[in-house]
Structure 1
Amino acid sequence: MDLYLGLDTSCYTTSVCAVTADGRIVGDERIILSVSAGGRGLSQSNMVYQHTRNMPLLMERLAPRLAGHTIRAIAVTSQPRRREDSYMPAFLAGLGCARSLAAVLAVPLYTISHQENHLLAVLRSRNTIPDRPFYGLHLSGGTTDLVRAVPDADGLAITRVGGTSDISAGQFIDRVGVALGLPFPAGVHLETLARQCTEHVKGSHVFCRDGELSFSGPESQAQRSIAQGDVDPARCSAWTLATVWRGLEILLDQCGASAMQQLAAAGGVMSNGFLRQKLTAYCHRHDVELLLAEDGFSADNASGAAFWAAWQERKKSV
């Protein structure tokens, strides 16, 4: 059977994935990068070191599922966004491995951005890439972007419509979570804690101007309360998620929900059940088709890249 390989080395996770020609997952392996207790991130040099150490382990785990099959193409994330000024050394670890594999196997190598990889991970579940522009909401540890995506020969040409002017929704969640004593990245732990809150919590207002949100004010508010010891952790967690949603709702209202037909919501923050529920209801009210990644594939993973490799090779045979 023909298989297609994807690699992604982001700020949070080392990922490899193999899919069939129709996008079905054959193997998916990931290792979350290690952050010291109380830490809120890693230096780029530490990311490169961990990715370099992790990639052989992931390939060894994936190898048994590749046995007896033929890898026809490889795709890898090479930068955060598809822009000339978008660069992070962390992606060199995956790119170097992918180039080596493609050279030895004598197969095509495709490069896409990490942001495209996230949106393609959503599209993979439908085994198709739209032939018309669509909107995307990319919510991850370092990114809160509302974008307009246009499929082209290189992947997805993405234009940013709105987002955050300071910290991302993911950074807001992580910083509050770490202040509460949760491990980094804190998203899944904060969501678990928020479920323990039995009262309805309304989030704080989020300032937005010209499609640019600011979560720094609510984050400072939370940090002051936590430092004073004046918080219930479960309620603070629920408040944090409710505040994120208030901001996202304002962003969508200001930046064209009325013009949207499709919205692909991607990124690790979109793994959050509360936010998925709120966004689903919002899109239903506004008659927008919401596209979500399959369970487990909103967070950093390489399935979008693998799907792009399969899609490119499929186009050659048409």
Structure 2
Amino acid sequence: MSALSLGIDTSNYTTSVALVDENENMIYNKGILLEVKSGERGLRQSDALFQHVHHLPILLQDLPRGREIEVICYSERPRPLRDSYMPVFRSGESLARSLAGVLGVKRLAVSHQENHLRAAIYGSGSPELEATFAAVHFSGGTSEILLVKKKSIGFECEIIAQTRDLNAGQLVDRIGVLMGCSFPAGKALEVLANQVMPESIDRKLVISTTMDGVDFHFSGQENQAQRLLDAGTDQAVVAYLLLKSIAKTLSKAIGGLQKQYSFQSVLFSGGVMSNRIIKKIVEHELSAAGLKLYFSPGEYSRDNAAGNALMGMDYYKSMRCGR
């Protein structure tokens, strides 16, 4: 019977558990969003950690029974860097260590960012990416473009462009909450933006991009969106212009980086990159760049534990082969 790998991820806004077999069949992949009170734009780490502790047993009780778990892989930090730390990951780490000890199985600690990358590769059809490629990680907690080098298990990531202030997800959530949407506001903002025909928007209405070389700023877009709303601009129009500005910013950064680095492929991950409007604009903006663009469906772009389950299986197979 095929062995199983259990993945656990406890990010700032989602508790996630996934289970994958040796053939990379996703047996189980579920998450629970952390609850943010109406009108608020985030959670304190202590509150988020408490919710993770409550959610993890709920997710584990629904795991399929009758097959043996051979390895447990969990996120222990935000990025694959020594000084990277965030308290919310202690909840998943504690559970993973306890389960591995009780079950007598191997465990593997990785980063939340590597989890995103591995899940995005899987979600985009497991393409044969080059040994070094570019990756976009845009979410509520991160807005970075990375130069990624494959390792036998996981990835080595170098930040080659990043936000200088707000993250893209923060921008979306702040303006979404200002419009009366619930937090997180990404889905609601996309629904709003889809209510308008882009060609019908007055050309004088724009939310411009702000670049600093290949780095970028999002606080300016927040101020511009607020001014448009204060002036009575339709919320759907503001939503579309905001998403367009994120896509334009990202496209400009990738275009600039392509001139500095020799990557041929770009992998997109993070909750913001599950937005179909942003995807469509980025594809259009970079259509002449000669790049291979890999987008993953929302299930594997947003926070999830699928990447950890897959890396755990990679680890199990490497051990079995004696590597």
**TM-score category (smaller protein):** over 0.9
- Normalized against structure 1, the TM-score is what? 0.94
Match of 1:236 among 228, 235, 238: 238
- Cα distance in 1 for partners of 2:44, 2:265 equals 36
Give the C-alpha shift of residue 182 in structure 1: 0.4
From the superposition, tell whether residues 131 and 276 of structure 1 become closer, same or farther in structure 2 (CA, over 3 Å). closer
Q: Percent identity?
A: 34
Report the RMSD for the aligned CA atoms in angstroms: 1.8
Matched, 1:291 2:289: no
Say which SS state the counterpart of residue 300 (structure 2) adopts. coil
- Cα distance in 1 for partners of 2:164, 2:315 equals 35
Give the C-alpha shift of residue 127 in structure 1: 4.8
Following superposition of structure 1 onto structure 2, how do residues 157-168 of structure 1 map, counting pairs within 5 Å? Answer: 157-168=156-167
- Unpaired runs of 5+ residues, structure 2, are none
Aligned to 1:83: 81
Matched, 1:251 2:253: yes
Match of 1:317 among 312, 317, 320: 320
Aligned to 1:142: 141
Matched, 1:276 2:279: yes
- Cα distance in 1 for partners of 2:163, 2:235 equals 25
Say which SS state the counterpart of residue 175 (structure 2) adopts. helix
- Normalized against structure 2, the TM-score is what? 0.92
- Cα distance in 2 for partners of 1:309, 1:158 equals 19
- Unpaired runs of 5+ residues, structure 1, are none
- Cα distance in 1 for partners of 2:285, 2:258 equals 13
- Cα distance in 2 for partners of 1:35, 1:275 equals 25
Aligned to 1:102: 100
**Letter matched to residue 187 of structure 2:** V
Aligned to 1:207: 210
**Letter matched to residue 219 of structure 1:** E
Aligned to 1:117: 115
- Cα distance in 1 for partners of 2:153, 2:318 equals 13
Aligned to 2:72: 74
Q: Which moved more, 1:72-81 or 1:125-134?
A: 125-134
Give the C-alpha shift of residue 312 in structure 1: 1.3
From the superposition, tell whether residues 129 and 111 of structure 1 become closer, same or farther in structure 2 (CA, over 3 Å). farther
Say which SS state the counterpart of residue 40 (structure 1) adopts. coil
Instruction: State the number of aligned residues.
Output: 314
Give the C-alpha shift of residue 229 in structure 1: 5.6
Give the C-alpha shift of residue 130 in structure 1: 4.8
- Cα distance in 2 for partners of 1:141, 1:238 equals 18
Structure 1 contact 163–251 (Cα < 8 Å) conserved: no
- Cα distance in 2 for partners of 1:223, 1:284 equals 31
Say which SS state the counterpart of residue 85 (structure 1) adopts. coil
- Cα distance in 2 for partners of 1:21, 1:192 equals 38
Q: Which moved more, 1:162-171 or 1:273-282?
A: 273-282
- Cα distance in 2 for partners of 1:48, 1:106 equals 26
Give the C-alpha shift of residue 282 in structure 1: 4.2
Give the C-alpha shift of residue 286 in structure 1: 1.6
Aligned to 1:19: 20
Cα deviation code 1:238-269 (max 9, x no counterpart): 11111111111111122226732111100101
Give the C-alpha shift of residue 153 in structure 1: 4.4
From the superposition, tell whether residues 131 and 20 of structure 1 become closer, same or farther in structure 2 (CA, over 3 Å). farther
Structure 2 contact 247–279 (Cα < 8 Å) conserved: no
Cα deviation code 1:97-117 (max 9, x no counterpart): 111111111111111111111
Structure 1 contact 123–129 (Cα < 8 Å) conserved: no
Say which SS state the counterpart of residue 296 (structure 1) adopts. helix
